[in-house]
Structure 1
């Protein structure tokens, strides 16, 4: 009776593989994280957690929460994984809801605060965006626009507001 033998195994030679792995590693360098741009549609007052935020507070980007079954933002201290910081609110005049006009008002109003707090920072280290009322929150009386500062390269390195 003939018994088939498994093919002979060669011992694993880690040292012979190291130069090959190192060579491959130098070929495949991870690209730098691309800058993120957040616009006036990045989040809305309908995103759970946004309406609980006050001026000066830091918070996370919206993330889906399985427990809540929806996207939420979380308050966080500014030195602990903060993606955004509210730096003020502006109040829009009553009237008919006009998203385009409201966005223009939000961007120009938030820009004034941004330039005041961080002169020369536009396009460099920091950027800003407004969180606008939606048609639904407008119908409920929401006229507030939140102005938010963020670092397009990643998390904030503490509170971005200048110390008084």
Structure 2
């Protein structure tokens, strides 16, 4: 009986310590797709060329495979301890390659809570990892202020 009690106690302790605990699990926000803001969409005007749209919005996440005149910009933010925020902008171009129609789906009126903290985890693109980049010390010397070269003597 005492051996059975030890086995059960050990099993419960190992289960709690191994990760199957009541403490909780760390979760991260998962952003996917093209970040689309209300400011970007407001810059779109009918008649813009595809190059102008690419300059404002970036390359689309989806291009219709059989119709190159439709571009889809999709953004999805799966919040760790919340819901899912989804935005979609569908742009339609005429046969001449000019913007003809803009369709929006989702709530563009609110800013998205994008975290740029420097906590542990995958690096954010363009971020300085652990602030380890060397500082640039650029000192300009003119020929007048540069030290004169010293002759090298060699023993023979």
Fold match (TM-score > 0.5)? no
Between 1 and 2, higher relative CO (CA 8 Å, sep ≥ 6) is seen in 1
TM-score by length of 1: 0.29
Instruction: Decide which structure has greater helix share.
Output: 1
TM-score by length of 2: 0.30
Which structure: larger Rg?
2
